[in-house]
Amino acid sequence: MVSIVLVGFMGAGKTTVGSELAAISGRTFCDLDTEIVKTAGMSIPQIFENFGESYFRDLETSSLQSVIGRQGFVVATGGGVVERPENWPLLRAAGRIIYLQATWECLRQRIGCGTARPLARQQDGWSQVKALFLRREPLYLQADFVVNTDGMDARQVAVAVAELCPK
Ligand code: S3P
């Protein structure tokens, strides 16, 4: 069964939709951020703080490499996986790539004010985070399919994605 790779900005719902999608489609769920945390033995904010973003990106590329060749998976990626051009052949090799799209307004509300995402800390209001989203959006659009998630709950999005990726 073809694996499904979910991409999208922070707050797009990749993890929640991914686990729901795995359940309804009989696939195995894998969250790359969780794998990175396990490998590093520390949280994502700690990785950024102690070793910097580029080290985190190296771990992200390695975790992506580790899911290649596996069938029947749903892989939730981190929002920045699209940044490195060398990750694209890996994403394509890992499965069918689905962009979970949402408007900036919707993402901002879903991101909220937590501290778990180093790149979503609002030092200056939201302008830097929004700029990051606008810069990345054309990258996400290189996915095989785009699913607009505005106004939909995780289950509805999961059903829409499952329909795009029959066994
Ligand atoms: C990041 C998104 C995060 C996580 C890390 C970096 C990004 O994942 O990988 O904080 O660069 O957008 P989520 O998209 O699951 O929040």
What are the helix and strand counts (H, E) for the chain? 8, 6
Average pLDDT along the chain:
95
Report the C-alpha gap between 81 and 7 in whole angstroms: 8
Assess contact for 30 and 76: CB atoms under 8 A: yes
**Residue 8's pLDDT band (cuts 50, 70, 90):** very high
Ligand 1 atom closest to Cα of residue 53: 6
DSSP element (H, E) containing 89: helix 87-94
What is the rounded distance in angstroms from the CA atom of residue 4 to the CA atom of residue 71?
9
Strands 28-31 and 73-76: parallel
Pocket test for ligand 1, best of 107, 115, 119, 140 (most atoms within 8 A of CB): 119
Least confident of 114-118, 127-131, 157-161, 163-167: 114-118
Rg of the chain taking only CA atoms, in angstroms: 15
Residue 8 in contact with ligand 1 by CB distance below 6 A: no
Query: Predicted confidence band at 139 (pLDDT cuts at 50, 70, 90)?
Result: very high
Alpha carbon distance 154, 132 (integer Å): 24
The reported pTM is 0.97
